[in-house]
Amino acid sequence: MIVLGIETSCDETSAAVVDGEGRVLSNVVSSQMRAHAPYGGVVPEVAARAHLENLPAVLDAALERAGKRLEDAELVAATAGPGLIGALLVGLSAGRGLAFARGLPLVGVNHLEGHLFSAFLRPGGEPARPLALPFHGLVVSGGHAELVRVEEGGRIVPLARTRDDAPGEAFDKIARRAGLGYPGGPVVDRIAQRGRGDRFPFAIGRSGDGSLDFSFSGLKTAMLRELERRGIDGSPLDPERLDPELVDLLASFQRAIVAALLDRVERVHAAEGMQTLAISGGVAANTELRATLSAWGGEHGVAVLLPDRSFTTDNAAMIAWAGLLAARRGAPTDPAAAAARSRWPLGT
Partner 1 sequence: MPDVETRTANAAETEALGEALAAELSANDVVYLEGDLGAGKTAFARGLARGLGASEREVASPTFALLHEYAGPSGSIVLRHLDLYRLVDALRELEVLGLPDSMEGAPVCVEWPRGALRRLLPPTVEVRIDTKPGGDGRRVSIRRAGDRAR
Interface with partner 1 (CB under 8 A): 10, 37-39, 42-49, 82-87, 141-144, 161-166, 168-169, 172-173, 177, 208, 211, 213, 217-218, 220-221, 224-225, 342-343, 345
Q: In whole angstroms, give the CA distance from residue 167 to residue 172.
A: 9
**Shortest distance, CB of residue 43 to partner 1, whole angstroms?**
5
Rank residues 120 and 202 by Cβ distance to partner 1 and give the closer one: 202
Sign of CA dihedral 166, 167, 172, 177: positive
Smallest separation (angstroms) from partner 1 to the CB of 190 = 22
On the 0-12 / 13-18 / 19+ scale of CB atoms within 10 A, 293 is buried
Q: What is the DSSP-derived secondary structure letter of residue 209? A: S
Least Cβ distance, residue 224 to partner 1 (angstroms) = 5
Dist CA 237 CA 246 (whole Å): 11
By C-beta, is 46 or 237 nearer to partner 1?
Answer: 46
Residue 44 or 186 having the CB closest to partner 1:
44
- Which residue lies nearer to partner 1 by CB, 9 or 254? 9
The least CB distance from residue 199 to partner 1, in Å, is 21
Determine how many CB atoms are found less than 10 A away from the CB of residue 272.
12
Please say which residue, 144 or 269, places its beta carbon nearer to partner 1.
144
CA gap 150, 143 in Å, rounded: 21
Q: Are 188 and 171 in contact (CB under 8 A)?
A: yes
Q: Which residues pair with 26 in a beta bridge?
A: 17
Provide the 8-state DSSP code for 84.
-
In the complex, the smallest distance separating the C-beta of residue 85 from partner 1, rounded to whole angstroms, is 6
